[in-house]
Amino acid sequence: MIKIDHLNKSFGKLDVLKDVSLEIDKGEVVALIGPSGSGKSTLLRCLNLLEIPTAGHVYIDGTDITAKATNVVKIRENMGMVFQHFNLFPHMTVMENMIYAPTKVKGLTKETAKQEAMRLLSQVGLAEKADAYPATLSGGQKQRVAIARALAMKPEIMLFDEPTSALDPEMVKEVLQVIQDLAHTGITMVIVTHEMGFARNVADRICFLDGGTLVEVAQPQEFFTNPKTDRAKEFLSKVL
């Protein structure tokens, strides 16, 4: 589903991603972990061309999205992204947030988009908030709406960049639960997270990034009990 092939990304003289290669299967759940500044967000953003790679290729479903002729809008339609800071439109109700892209980009009628939106809001436990404005929601509720909104585009891939890092501790669980419910339903997921317990329980593979290099890729059980590299051992000794 996703093939990252010798990907490099530099900001001026700063080499942030160094020769990263990785293949992710359809339906797979990958947790991307590593120290702050290791390039996790940059890697995620290269997957939907929020950042343009300096060298290397990214293939989505066989299409080289780094090729010049790529239709970036089309690629992004197929990829939902959830950020640390929700990014809901503050002047729109939850329902208006939900149907904005499906009506504007996909051309759905308002009625069809609303029906699907209600289904998704129910799925994340927020059907009763359809007419609320984002400012009246808790952080956890905002993030659940952001996830539902991304799903409204029916993406084949979901990218999560530290979806719980900005939340008060008591709200982390409800958001992780929504993500966990989504895992292994066919959607391909890449999740940057500092929630090690969650990564261990939910991910099919752990990708450990350090200094812009993909240092270790392993199954969770293997990675957390028997890390191969000193860098992974040191990282785990700090976060576990």
Residue matched to tokens 């860098």: 231
Minimum CB separation of residue 176 from Mg ion in Å reads 18
- Closest-CA residue to 97 (of 117, 73, 112, 122): 117
Q: Which is nearer to ligand ADP, 151 or 192 (CB)?
A: 192
Interacting positions 75-114 with ligand ADP (CB under 6 A)? none
Work out which of 26, 37, 168, 184 binds ligand ADP, going by CB under 6 A: 37
Give the separation between CA 211 and CA 194, rounded to whole angstroms: 16
Interacting positions 38-67 with ligand ADP (CB under 6 A)? 38-42
Q: Which is nearer to ligand ADP, 54 or 112 (CB)?
A: 54
Interacting positions 2-21 with ligand ADP (CB under 6 A)? 11, 14, 16
- Binding at 42: pick from ligand ADP, Mg ion, none (beta carbon under 5-8 Å per type): ligand ADP
Q: Which is nearer to Mg ion, 8 or 70 (CB)?
A: 8
Buried residues in 102-115 as b, exposed as e (16+ CB within 10 A)? bbeeeebeeeebbe
Using the rule CB under 6 A, is 36 a contact of ligand ADP?
Answer: yes
What does each C-alpha distance from 53 to 15, 67, 86, 102 come to in angstroms? 11, 11, 25, 28
Give the separation between CA 121 and CA 125, rounded to whole angstroms: 6
Residues that bind Mg ion (CB under 5 A): 40-41
Residues 6+ apart with CB under 8 A from 131: 93, 94, 95
Give the separation between CA 196 and CA 54, rounded to whole angstroms: 31
Q: Which is nearer to Mg ion, 41 or 48 (CB)?
A: 41
Piece of 37-45, 91-99, 101-109, 182-190 that binds ligand ADP (CB under 6 A) = 37-45
- Chain residues binding ligand ADP by CB under 6 A are 11, 14, 16, 34, 36-42
